[in-house]
Copies of this chain bind each other. A is one copy, B any other.
């Protein structure tokens, strides 16, 4: 049964249809609910559904340079302490973009089972010395969900290929974040049509899984985008070829936003990100 067919139904049939939809939908809503244990384990929280991701891009104000260098350097410890304080609530990653981006110098990725706790961390960061001397350029909010298209049931060969392709490169030094929004035509395709498009989207990415790690957050309604795509790599030319492959399939024709901004940074410990900005 498709929602679109409702347009052609006599109104008198709607009541029964509605009842059926309610049953079906509420079931699927239950599925991606988050687990309730609140201790954060990196390997777990980064692979589970029902986890919120908050990306916040910051740009230092010129006033940052007027703070004495020792005080700037102390920021690294101040932020480390804040991360420690919230370690049962949020997983914090920090990346360095100064030198590679126009509108940011560094950005956070916060993972949390409860979005309000991610908000609290980011709010408290704003009261640190570096937080008070930085402007927010962008915030992206999303949530992880179970695989939708390339599942064992719906696309078994591709699912197997995805499962067997594992990252085999050096430790990634680079991070790329690309927000995605799809148009109304995409969302009005039937599930089967979208599955077919996602299959032809997935196939050319397979050779790059050895060089590029990736992670997906869903954002429709939480933000003005549909997806946050997150990548780590040590081979930017492989990554460039991967994105050209993604550009070259029909699914790309349904994008109203793909990047804008694309954020490219380097992967460092939180302490080293802040020290690099404090020098």
Contact = CB atoms under 8 A, between A and B. Distances in A.
Interface of A: 3-4, 6-7, 11-12, 14-15, 17-18, 21-26, 28-29, 32-33, 50, 52, 54, 61-63, 65, 96, 98-102, 115-116, 118-124, 126-127, 132, 136-139, 141, 143, 145, 155-158, 160-161, 173-174, 176, 178, 184-185, 187-188, 196-197, 199-200, 203-204, 206-208, 210-211, 218-224, 235-245, 247-250, 252-253, 255, 259-262, 264, 266, 276, 279
B18 A237 contact: no
A203 B17 contact: yes
Given A18-B203, A119-B100, A199-B7, A262 B223 contact: yes
Contacts of A199: 6-7, 11, 14
Given A224-B259, A224-B262, A15 B161 contact: yes
Nearest to A131: B65
Number of copies: 5
A65, A160, A200 interface centre (most CB from chain B within 10 Å)? A200
B3 A102 contact: no
Majority DSSP secondary structure for residues of A touching B: helix
A65, A121, A123 interface centre (most CB from chain B within 10 Å)? A123
A261 B250 CA distance: 28
B240 A220 contact: yes
A116 B184 contact: no
Contacts of A211: 29
